[in-house]
């Protein structure tokens, strides 16, 4: 059993990698690509006044979106992996993980322009802090270097974008259109000969040269800035992150799920904000489903073919076939709207506006009026969303229970029990029901991961800020980090749940063995 | 003996559990009471210290000196220009103590006191207090200044922050807000501004010249701060120099018409509050609700550890230390409901005081008498409304194939094929106004003499024939001399029913003259890359504006074609380029408007876009909201006041 579980656990790693890779490729291949999220200003109106090319170059560099997809994916894996290789990252006093500054690529085709890349002078001795430097001194020194480097790097990125554009236009001007991207920049794979042709052109040559000179000058500044920052970083101004296993080669650290592009907040915070709301709804809904569906399934099985069996079966299937969007709209119109309907229930959110000021429990205000209190208010707000989550769930579970019970009714031990003269109530509850529990337990295990995903429609219509809302918005905005983190977490929980189900099988049913 | 878990045990267990849960809940309740108590204490302390500060200020104020300053100024014959309605010289508004901050020989301008156009305190039955609730359609991820990226963030910013100047809500003229008086170089290269002595932030600290400099140079132009959106907008200023505590001087890169509006436009943050935050740029970039300004409203809790974050409602409370006209309502609450039906249901249930309506909702509620009894339906045009258009690809699509629209005759024909009045009537429900160019007809930038092109398919056919598009093989589709059929794709954002109906109509109208039009719905997130790659034949969406005078360079100049600029239709016109450059250089308002009028004529003749309509603002508001004025600038929340519920309550039943 132990080896089996270990093997299953180890197999999870490649499965998760494959799954996230798939999600990653899907996002990268979707129209608009990964960076699309950064450019959406919402709705059908765009505000005039920003220069796209600059913004894009800046942001792509900032989020590392200019690297090839494979590199981006490997970087992401490195961040989320709990096992880290190489020297450990640092943790700033504000809890930020600080990594060694990324290298900078020189401008494309620098060789064609003659001359060499600017050299970085290596300092003779490594940078070191004064022995007496306090933590504050160190972090100030790091900040100064980091700020300086960010500035020169941003300038270089802009200059490089300008250079690629200029050469792209020059290529077009001399008729080498096939080396030009749709957006007017030169293609990464442009052969050197094409660039040389531009340089030889009397008109375009000097223009391209000037753009290149600008870019290379900024490049020199940028690598110098990087060297300075790297030196400060290597002097280790902050404590290292994680737990070492082998010094400087292997360590363990908490996975970093990254920052959401579209919202500019850490993915982990977004999830911890959204998850409780979804869990709250589902923890209400699932017991209701079970408490209604399982007993009625049992009842239907004992009176097979009877009126209750037919009616409950029919009703559940009818409910099951109502589309959830329609159900939500009907509920809003008839139960929540005060003009067209009854107006008994609130329309949106999980709390009233007054909710925050309410006492926690129901109470009576000094002037004698009844105050719902926060708990009751929340329950009241949850009525409609929970109803929407619940109504379609009865059919499957009650049919499952009914079928399992019927199977057992025909078993030999039931006939024996009947022959012994056991009361039929005891047969149903003690013998048949217990033996029918197995599929119901395993079903619960598979429901649990779905709970994390949340229901998109219900959360959207009733304005519940839960996981469903988070994911659907992330999909609309191609918010890569949020989607990957979600895929990772839900995948992990799913696989753990399946493993748990298999283990439970073995425990519950002696006939199953994994050895 | 058989130990058995029976019903009794179960009841007992449940009872014990219940007691435990109750105990926990009661403890939670105690915590909440404690938290609220603390918050109240903090608030009291704040009010107390504010009072003390004001007392001290009153004590130290020397009225005699101020009066002397005014008379000195009057006798020295300084030209004081006042162009605000009832602004300069209103009682209790000394223009300036002295003029020793000025550069000699340059006219000093002022627009007097910054005051509300319709002060709620002038209404006789006015009541203060209450909470005004507005619904947003989307969740703003953050409202920290210079980090927010959407229109919601800007709306919050408008309430919490102030720039040196602001547009007058009625006249749309630039007026001094934090700026009391200023000198603008006649050559347009520098601007020296004196900040109001009274101006202070919501924590009571005065607004100083250093705050103005710091905000621009160390916040917006700090590369570690993700304010790239704002960096590319506020690009006219070369440097800012602090002359004295209250005097600041801007130097501009070149003489440009919008230098003043840029220097006056960006909002000022308190350096002493923001500097420690910006010390850790990563945490600041991640922040969601770090908004502390000098505006009439403020956020209640603002600190690195305790700030507003989604999905909570955004609650702005009245800034009791505000230096100008105080608003009448206690607070404004912005809540988010993204589902359209839920939004309307919540609004009509009395869940909010104002919601944005679409044309269909607006017209259907306009016929609903019982709804109109309890709600106001508001409909007006303002500078933020913007205009919708169809952009024609005048250059090569994708950098490959030239579309038929590079020919001005084809573009003009397309405009005449499309019955814009019908679109307005049937789809915008007669709520929109015809547009003839990128300048809204309510602004002085627009040339009032231009009439929209008529709907005339016959003349359109003639123009197309002139351009070589004739039905040569009798299949009811036009061909050019090479035999290529006239086919194009119209790209539009999906999700809006109105847009879908419009493009379907356009497809029909095109078929009527022998043009094949195909529909290409896209997701909004793809729009940017389609525009960058110039990957469309025709595209329709809308531009909106945040200032009354827009700079046409960004969208129309041929220099905005390369570098993925916003001239995505790749329209190059020497006339337009010349006029745009001339207009940008012209500092004199009247002369510049003449240039813009000429430019407007060029747009009209060339039809790079087919201008469809100017978009109005449609709002439902409850009857309890009073003194809500439909300004050409938009809405001014500071002026609202709320009638007590009762007579005309927001709540039915």
Mean pLDDT of B337-363: 89
Ranked by mean pLDDT, the top range of B96-100, B107-111, B160-164 is: B160-164
Please tell me the distance from the alpha carbon of residue A36 to that of residue A56, in angstroms, as a whole number.
10
Helix (H, G, I), strand (E, B) or coil at B192: strand
- In this predicted structure, what is the pLDDT of residue B69? 56
Specify which of A352-356, A440-444, B427-431, B449-453 reaches the highest per-range mean pLDDT. B449-453
Question: For residue B148, which residues of chain A lie inside 8 Å, CB to CB?
Answer: none
Do A37 and B525 lie within an 8 Å CB cutoff? yes
Quote the domain boundaries for residue B455: 387-614
Rounded to an integer, the average pLDDT of A412-418 is 88
> What residues have CB less than 8 Å from A418, skipping those under 6 apart?
A424, A427
The domain that holds B473 is classified in CATH as 3.10.105.10
Q: B135 and B96: one domain?
A: no
Of B274, B299, B324, the position where a domain reaches its end is B299
Residue B254 lies in a domain: yes
Q: Which residues of B touch A264 (CB under 8 A)?
A: 141-142, 147, 226, 285-286
In three state form, how does the secondary structure of A30-69 look?
CCCCCCHHHHCCCCCEEECCCCHHHHHHHHHHHCCCCCCH
H/E segment holding residue A363: strand A363-364
The reported pLDDT for the residue numbered B5 is 66
Residue A46 pLDDT grade (very low, low, confident, very high; cuts 50, 70, 90): very low
Higher per-residue confidence, A41 vs A12: A12
Domain count, chain B: 3
Q: Which of the four pLDDT bands, split at 50, 70 and 90, describes residue B73?
A: low
Contact call for B311 and A476, based on CB within 8 A: no
Q: How confident is the model at residue B81 (pLDDT cuts 50, 70, 90)?
A: very low
Across the interface, whether the CB atoms of B532 and A52 are under 8 A apart is answered yes
* Whether B503 and B594 share a structural domain: yes
Q: A51-61 in b/e burial notation, b at 16+ Cβ within 10 A?
A: bbbbbbbbbbb
B413 in any annotated domain: yes
pLDDT 10s digits, A451-482:
777 788 899 888 888 899 889 888 877 788 89
CB contact under 8 A, A338 and B29: no
Side-chain half-sphere CA neighbours of B126 within 13 A: 16
Whether the CB-CB separation of B540 and B504 falls below 8 Å is answered with no
Chain-chain contact of A45 with B542 (C-beta, under 8 angstroms): yes
CB-based contact (8 Å) between B243 and chain A? no
Note whether B419 and B501 are same-domain residues. Answer: yes
- How far apart are the C-alpha atoms of B311 and B322, rounded to whole Å? 28
Is residue B636 a contact partner of residue B117, using CB atoms and an 8 Å limit? yes
Query: At residue B617, what are phi and psi to the nearest 5 degrees?
Result: -95, 130
Q: How far is B308 from chain A (nearest CA, A)?
A: 13
> Which of A169, A182, A262 is nearest residue B398 as measured by Cβ atoms?
A182
CATH code of the domain containing B135:
3.40.190.10
Q: What's CA A379's distance to the chain center, in Å? A: 28
> Considering chain B, what is the average pLDDT of its residues?
86
CA separation for the pair B632, B117 (Å, rounded): 12
What is the per-residue pLDDT for A142?
A: 86
The pLDDT mean for chain A works out to 82
Q: What DSSP string runs through A270-297?
A: HHHHHHHHHHHHHHHHHHHHHHHHHHHH
* pLDDT confidence of residue B537: 93
The backbone torsions φ and ψ at residue A293, rounded to the nearest 5 degrees and listed phi first, read -75, -45
B311–A265 C-beta distance less than 8 A: no
Same domain, residue pair B95 and B204:
yes
The complex scores an ipTM of: 0.77
Residues B106 and B210 in one domain: yes
Q: How confident is the model at residue B651 (pLDDT cuts 50, 70, 90)?
A: very low
What confidence tens digit (pLDDT) does each residue in A365-408 have?
777 777 777 888 888 899 999 999 899 888 988 998 899 888 88
Here the tokens at position A378 are 């929340």
End-to-end CA distance of chain B: 64
Greatest mean pLDDT range, A390-394, B106-110, B301-305, B501-505? B501-505
Same domain (yes/no): B417, B516: yes
Decide if pLDDT at A286 tops 80. yes
One domain for residues B286 and B364: no
| Residue A43 pLDDT level (bands cut at 50, 70, 90) | very low
Residue B99 is predicted with a pLDDT of 79
Domain assignment present for residue B543? The answer is yes
Whole-number pLDDT of residue B534: 86
Which whole number is the average pLDDT over A268-275? 90
In a domain, B256, yes or no: yes
State residue B42's pLDDT score: 81
Output the pTM of the full model: 0.81
Instruction: Check pLDDT > 90 for residue A427.
Output: no
CA angle A505, A511, A515 (to 5 degrees): 80
pLDDT for position B176: 93
Report the distance separating Cα B256 and Cα B248, nearest Å.
Answer: 19
A265 and B399: CB-CB below 8 Å? no
Same domain, B433 and B319: no
User: Residue B647 — pLDDT band, cuts 50, 70, 90?
Assistant: very low
DSSP A215-267: HHHHHHHHHHHHHHHHHHHHT--SPBPSEEEETTTEEE------B-TTT-SBH
Q: Name chain A contacts of B149, Cβ cutoff 8 Å.
A: 41
Least confident residue range of A228-242, A341-355, B321-335? A341-355
Q: Is the pLDDT of residue B91 over 50?
A: no
Same domain? For B157 and B279 the reply is yes
The dihedral through the CA atoms of A15, A20, A24, A27 has a sign that is positive
Q: What is the mean pLDDT of residues B267-296?
A: 91
What are B41-53's pLDDT values in tens digits? 888 887 887 787 7
Top residue of B29, B225, B307, B528 to mutate, by most chain A CBs within 10 Å, is B528
Q: Looking at B268, B299, B330, which one is the last position of a domain?
A: B299
pLDDT in tens, B364-404: 888 888 888 889 999 999 888 889 999 999 988 877 788 99
Q: Is residue B483 located within the same domain as residue B418? A: yes
Out of A138-147, A186-195, B63-72, B554-563, least confident range: B63-72
Characterise A225 by phi-psi region: left (phi > 0), alpha (psi -120 to 50), beta (else). Answer: alpha
* B529, B534, B652: residue with CB nearest A339: B652
Whether residue B77 has pLDDT greater than 50 = no
Do B342 and A37 lie within an 8 Å CB cutoff?
A: no
Do B278 and B133 have their domain in common? no
Are the beta carbons of B338 and A47 separated by less than 8 Å? no
Inter-chain touch A49–B313, beta carbons under 8 Å = no
- To the nearest whole percent, how much of chain A has pLDDT over 90? 13
In chain A, % helix, strand, coil (3-state, to 5) comes to 65, 5, 30
The CATH number given to whatever domain includes residue B228 is: 3.90.76.10
CA distance A177 to A252: 50
Give the pLDDT confidence score for residue B70 in this predicted structure. 57
Nearest neighbour of B141 by CB, restricted to A62, A172, A263: A263
**Cβ B210 vs Cβ B200: under 8 Å:** no
| Interchain CB contact of B358 with A (< 8 Å) | no
- The tens digit of pLDDT for each residue in B582-627 reads 999 999 889 999 999 999 999 999 999 999 999 999 999 999 999 9
For residue B322, being part of any structural domain is answered with: yes
What integer is the mean pLDDT of A426-453? Answer: 78
Q: Cα–chain-centroid distance for residue A241?
A: 23
Considering the domain boundaries, does residue B376 fall inside one?
A: yes
Q: How far is A31 from chain B (nearest CA, A)?
A: 6
Mean pLDDT within A24-48: 59
Residue among B32, B349, B528 minimizing CB distance to A337: B349
Question: Looking at the structure, do residues B234 and B291 belong to the same domain, yes or no?
Answer: yes
Chain A nearest C-alpha distance from B180 (Å): 28
Number of A to B CB contacts under 8 A, please give it. Answer: 236
Cα(B456)–Cα(B459) distance, integer angstroms: 6
* Rg (alpha carbons) of chain B, rounded to whole number: 29
User: Which residue is associated with the tokens 């404004």?
Assistant: B332
Q: Averaged over A17-25, what is the pLDDT? A: 92
Query: Lowest mean pLDDT: which of A183-187, A464-468, B291-295, B419-423?
Result: A183-187
Q: What angle do CA B69, B70, B72 make, to 5 degrees?
A: 65
Residue B177 lies in a domain: yes
Count of residues making up chain A: 515
Numbers of helices and strands, H then E, in chain A: 18, 8
For the segment B169-187, what is each residue's pLDDT rounded down to a tens digit?
988 889 999 999 999 999 9
Question: For residue B80, is pLDDT > 50?
Answer: no
**pLDDT given for residue A35 in this prediction:** 55
The residue ranges of DSSP E strands in B104-189, in sequence order, are 108-109, 131-136, 165-167, 174-176, 179-184
Contact B532 A42 (CB under 8 A): no
- DSSP state for residue B207 in the 8-state scheme: P
Residue B4 located in a structural domain? no
- Closest by CA position to B248, among listed B297, B215, B289, B203: B215
Helix H or strand E segment including B642: strand B641-642
Percent of chain B with pLDDT over 90: 48
Q: Which chain B residues are Cβ-neighbours of A260 within 8 angstroms?
A: 141
Higher pLDDT, A208 or B263: B263
Kindly determine whether residue B543 and residue A48, on different chains, have CB atoms separated by under 8 Å: yes
Q: Which of B272, B299, B326 is the last residue of a domain?
A: B299
Is the pLDDT score of B505 beyond 90? Answer: yes
| Between A69 and B462, residue with greater pLDDT | B462
- Beta carbons of B176 and B199 less than 8 angstroms apart: no
């Amino acid at each position: 059993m132990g080896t089996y579980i270990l093997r299953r656990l180890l197999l999870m790693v490649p499965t998760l990698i494959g799954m996230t890779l798939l999600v990653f490729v899907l996002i990268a291949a979707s129209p608009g690509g990964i960076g699309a999220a950064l450019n959406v200003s919402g709705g059908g109106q765009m505000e005039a006044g920003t220069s796209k090319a600059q913004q894009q170059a800046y942001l792509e560099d900032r989020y590392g979106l200019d690297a090839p997809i494979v590199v981006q994916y490997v970087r992401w894996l490195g961040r989320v992996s709990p096992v880290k290789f190489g020297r450990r990252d640092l943790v700033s006093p504000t809890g930020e993980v600080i990594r060694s500054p990324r290298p900078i690529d020189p401008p494309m085709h620098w060789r064609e322009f003659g001359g060499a890349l600017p050299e970085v002078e290596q300092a003779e001795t490594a940078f070191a802090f004064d022995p007496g430097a306090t933590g504050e001194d160190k972090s100030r020194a790091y900040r100064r270097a980091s700020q300086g480097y960010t500035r020169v790097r941003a300038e270089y990125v802009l200059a490089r974008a300008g250079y690629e554009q200029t050469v792209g236009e020059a290529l077009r001007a001399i008729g080498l259109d096939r080396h030009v991207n749709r957006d007017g920049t030169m293609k990464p794979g442009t052969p050197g000969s094409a660039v040389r042709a531009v340089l030889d052109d009397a008109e375009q040559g000097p223009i391209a040269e000037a753009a290149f000179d600008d870019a290379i000058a900024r490049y020199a500044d940028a690598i110098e800035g990087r060297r300075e920052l790297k030196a400060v970083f290597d002097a280790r101004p902050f404590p290292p992150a994680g737990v070492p296993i082998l010094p400087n080669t292997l360590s363990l650290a908490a996975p970093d799920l990254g920052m959401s592009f579209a919202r500019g907040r850490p993915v982990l915070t977004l999830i911890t904000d959204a998850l409780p709301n979804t869990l709250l709804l589902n923890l209400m809904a699932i017991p209701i489903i079970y408490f209604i569906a399982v007993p009625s399934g049992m009842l239907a099985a004992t009176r097979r073919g009877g009126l209750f069996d037919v009616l409950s079966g029919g009703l559940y299937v009818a409910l099951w076939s109502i589309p959830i969007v329609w159900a939500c709209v009907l509920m809003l119109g008839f139960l929540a709207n005060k003009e067209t309907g009854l107006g008994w229930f609130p329309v949106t959110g999980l709390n009233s506006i007054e909710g925050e000021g309410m006492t926690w429990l129901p109470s009576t205000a000094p002037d004698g009026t009844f105050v719902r209190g926060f708990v009751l208010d929340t329950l009241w707000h949850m009525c409609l969303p929970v109803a929407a989550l619940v109504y379609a769930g009865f059919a499957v579970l009650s049919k499952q229970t009914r079928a399992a019970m019927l199977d057992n009714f025909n078993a030999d031990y039931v006939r024996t029990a009947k022959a012994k003269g056991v009361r039929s109530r005891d047969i149903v509850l003690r013998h048949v029901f217990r033996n029918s529990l197995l599929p119901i337990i395993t079903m619960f295990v598979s429901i649990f991961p779905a709970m994390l995903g949340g229901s998109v429609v219900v959360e959207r219509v009733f304005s519940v800020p839960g996981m469903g809302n988070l994911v659907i918005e992330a999909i609309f905005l191609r918010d890569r980090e949020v989607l990957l983190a979600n895929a990772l977490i839900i995948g992990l929980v799913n696989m753990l749940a399946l493993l748990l189900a298999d283990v439970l099988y073995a425990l519950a049913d002696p006939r199953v063995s994994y050895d | 003996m058989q130990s058995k878990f029976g019903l009794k045990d179960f009841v007992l267990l449940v009872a014990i559990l219940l007691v435990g849960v109750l105990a926990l809940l009661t403890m939670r309740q105690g915590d909440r009471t404690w938290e609220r108590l603390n918050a109240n204490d903090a608030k009291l302390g704040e009010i107390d210290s504010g009072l003390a500060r004001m007392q001290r200020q009153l004590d130290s104020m020397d009225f005699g000196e101020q009066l002397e300053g005014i008379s000195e100024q009057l006798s020295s014959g300084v030209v004081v220009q006042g162009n605000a309605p009832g602004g300069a010289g209103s009682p209790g508004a000394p223009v300036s103590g002295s003029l020793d901050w000025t550069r000699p020989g340059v006219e000093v301008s002022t627009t007097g006191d910054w005051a509300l156009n319709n002060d709620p305190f002038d209404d006789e039955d006015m009541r203060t207090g209450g909470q005004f609730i507005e619904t947003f359609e989307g969740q703003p991820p953050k409202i920290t200044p210079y980090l927010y990226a959407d229109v919601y963030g800007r709306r919050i910013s408008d309430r919490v922050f102030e720039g040196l100047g602001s547009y007058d809500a009625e006249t749309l003229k630039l007026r001094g807000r934090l700026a009391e008086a200023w000198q603008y170089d006649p050559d347009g290269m520098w601007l020296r501004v004196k900040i109001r002595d009274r101006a202070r932030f919501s924590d009571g600290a005065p607004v100083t010249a250093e705050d103005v400099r710091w905000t621009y140079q160390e916040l917006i132009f700090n590369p570690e701060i993700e304010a790239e959106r704002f960096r590319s907008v506020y690009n006219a200023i070369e440097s800012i120099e602090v002359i004295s505590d209250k005097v600041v001087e801007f130097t501009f890169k070149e003489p440009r018409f919008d230098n003043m509006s840029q220097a006056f436009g960006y909002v000022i943050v308190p350096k002493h509050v923001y500097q420690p935050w910006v010390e850790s740029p990563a945490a600041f970039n991640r922040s969601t609700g770090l908004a502390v300004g000098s505006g009439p409203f403020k956020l209640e809790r603002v600190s690195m550890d305790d700030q507003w974050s989604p999905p909570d409602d955004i609650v702005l409370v009245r800034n009791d230390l505000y230096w100008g006209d105080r608003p009448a309502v206690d607070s404004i609450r912005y809540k988010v409901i993204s589902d359209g039906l839920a939004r309307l249901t919540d609004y009509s249930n009395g869940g909010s005081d104002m919601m944005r309506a679409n044309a269909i909702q607006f017209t259907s509620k306009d016929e609903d008498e019982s709804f109109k009894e309890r709600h106001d339906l508001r409909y007006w045009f303002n500078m933020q409304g913007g205009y919708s258009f169809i952009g024609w690809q005048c250059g090569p699509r994708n950098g490959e194939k030239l579309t038929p629209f590079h020919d001005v005759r084809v573009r003009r024909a397309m405009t005449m094929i499309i019955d814009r009045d019908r679109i307005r009537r049937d789809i915008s429900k007669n709520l929109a106004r015809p547009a003839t160019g990128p300048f809204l007809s309510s602004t002085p930038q627009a040339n009032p003499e231009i009439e929209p092109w008529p709907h005339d398919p016959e003349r359109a056919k003639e123009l197309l024939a002139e351009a070589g598009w004739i039905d040569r093989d009798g299949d009811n589709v036009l061909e050019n001399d090479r035999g290529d059929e006239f086919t194009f794709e119209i790209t539009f954002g999906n999700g809006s029913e109105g847009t879908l109906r419009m493009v379907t109509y356009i497809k029909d109208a095109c078929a009527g003259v022998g043009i094949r039009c195909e529909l290409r719905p896209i997701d909004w997130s793809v729009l940017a890359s389609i525009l960058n790659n110039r990957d469309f034949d025709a595209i329709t969406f809308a531009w909106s504006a945040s200032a009354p005078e827009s700079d046409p360079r960004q969208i129309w100049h041929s220099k905005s074609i390369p570098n993925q600029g916003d001239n995505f239709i790749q329209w190059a016109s020497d006339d337009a380029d010349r006029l745009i450059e001339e207009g940008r250089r012209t500092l004199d308002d009247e002369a510049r408007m003449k240039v813009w009028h000429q430019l407007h004529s060029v747009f009209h003749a060339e039809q790079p876009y087919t201008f469809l309509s100017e978009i109005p603002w449609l709002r439902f508001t409850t009857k309890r909201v009073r003194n809500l004025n439909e300004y050409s600038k938009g809405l001014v929340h500071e002026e609202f006041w709320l009638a007590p519920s009762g007579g005309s309550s927001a709540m039915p039943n």
